[in-house]
Each structure stands twice: as C-alpha cells, then as structure tokens.
Amino acid sequence: MPQRFVWAWLVAVAACWWAAATILLPQAVASQLGRTSPAAVSLALALSVLGRFAGFGIEAGFYILWWKMQQRRVRPACFFAWIVTFSLLDFLGLGLGRLASHHSGASPWLAPVAGIGLLRSRWPDLGAGAWASFGTAGLLTGLRIYLTARQQARALRSPLVGPLALTLCAWLLTRVAVWWGVDLLRGMSPVK
C-alpha cells in the first residue's frame, strides 16, 4: 500500500477508536468534564486515542526489539501499521459487546466470538480481575494473536511457530498481570 494511504488508513482507525472512546467514557465523567471546560471532553477523548496508539506502539516495539536481539529485522513503521490494523478486531469485539448488552439473549451466541466476558453474569463468583483480563478471550482475540504472529513470520521469512509462541506468551503474561493488578487495585471492593 502506498505510504500516503497508510497515513489515511491510520487516521481512519484513529477515528474508529475516537468513536469507541465517546461510548466508553462514562456519562458522569463526561458531564463533569463538560462543566470544567467545553474542550475538556474532546481533550479527554484525544488523550484516550493517543494512549491507545501509544499502547500499539509499545506492542509493536516489543516484538521488533525481541527479534532485533536475534539480529533479525522487522520494519517498524510497517509492523506498527499492521498492529493498528489488527486492533480493529478489538473494536469489532467492543461493538459486539455493546450489541450483547442491548440484547441479552444474544450473549451466548456472541461470547465465543467477542469474548467470554459477555457471559459474566453466569459466573458471578469469578473476580473482577479475572474478567478484566480474560473477558476478551474469544475468536476475535485468537485471530488477532494469529495475525500478529503471521505478520512477524512474514517479515522474518520464518516458520509461524516461533512468532506464534512469542505472541501467545506475551498475551498470556500481560493478561495474568492485568488480572493480578486489577485485584490488587480493588482489594475487597466490588467493581463492574
């Protein structure tokens, strides 16, 4: 894809995440920010999108540096653009989650795709940390892991096994860290 189209594509994905941030920002917080300053809500949304893209940068940077330690090169800009593109699967998962929240009967059907977190009400005994970390586990997340690994394998011209093992391990370790981190932050308090 020509470079100028890559920029346009990144802007389009950023617009998707901006739209997601407007939905995810709690009404109470938005109204409070709005009272502070009219520009505060836009600033908060922009920071949210920037933070998300910084996360994509860290994710891409981790894989690039990992392979660089073996003197193998993955083109940074190209790989970052792919990671941003794969994030649309998360965006789709969020959309399906919203759909399930409005049609509770659809949750069992959508959960294998969008994530087992849609079935949270069936297992109320599981802690909030476990749901926050593994709630997105589903077909879309699996596809994102596979595509991330495949893109590394293509860039390295190597078999899929190594990149897939690395991507799976990275996902698993970060999910477990989120689980324990959320539990430590909330203590015995309930959270949604």
Partner 1 sequence: MNGAQWIVAGCALGGLAALGAAWHLDRARGWETPRWDPGRLVLIRDGRARGASGGGTPGPDPLAAGERWVVAVQPQCPHCRESLSRLVAARARHEDPIEIEALIVDTSRRPRATILGDTGVDRVWWDERNTWRRRWGHRVYGEILVFDPSGNCVRSLPPPLDGGDDPLGPALGVPPDDL
Residue ranges that bind partner 1, judged by CB under 8 A:
26-29, 32, 66, 69-70, 124-125, 173, 176-177, 180-181, 183-192
d(CA 94, CA 40): 24
| CB closer to partner 1 out of 109 and 180 | 180
| CB closer to partner 1 out of 112 and 181 | 181
CB of 141 to partner 1, least distance (A): 20
CB of 101 to partner 1, least distance (A): 9
3-state secondary structure 70-122: CCCCCCHHHHHHHHHHHHHHHHHHHHHHHHHHHCHHHHHHHHHHHCHHHHHHH
- Distances 180 to 128, 157, 173, 184, 189 between C-alpha atoms, Å: 10, 36, 11, 6, 14
CB of 91 to partner 1, least distance (A): 20
CB of 8 to partner 1, least distance (A): 34
CB of 148 to partner 1, least distance (A): 18
| CB closer to partner 1 out of 50 and 169 | 169
| CB closer to partner 1 out of 157 and 192 | 192
| CB closer to partner 1 out of 3 and 32 | 32
25 closest CA partner among 34, 12, 37, 38: 34
What contacts 166, CB < 8 A, 6 or more positions away?
63, 66, 149, 152
Neighbouring CB atoms inside 10 A of 152's CB total 24
Give the helix/strand (H/E) hosting 110. Answer: helix 107-114
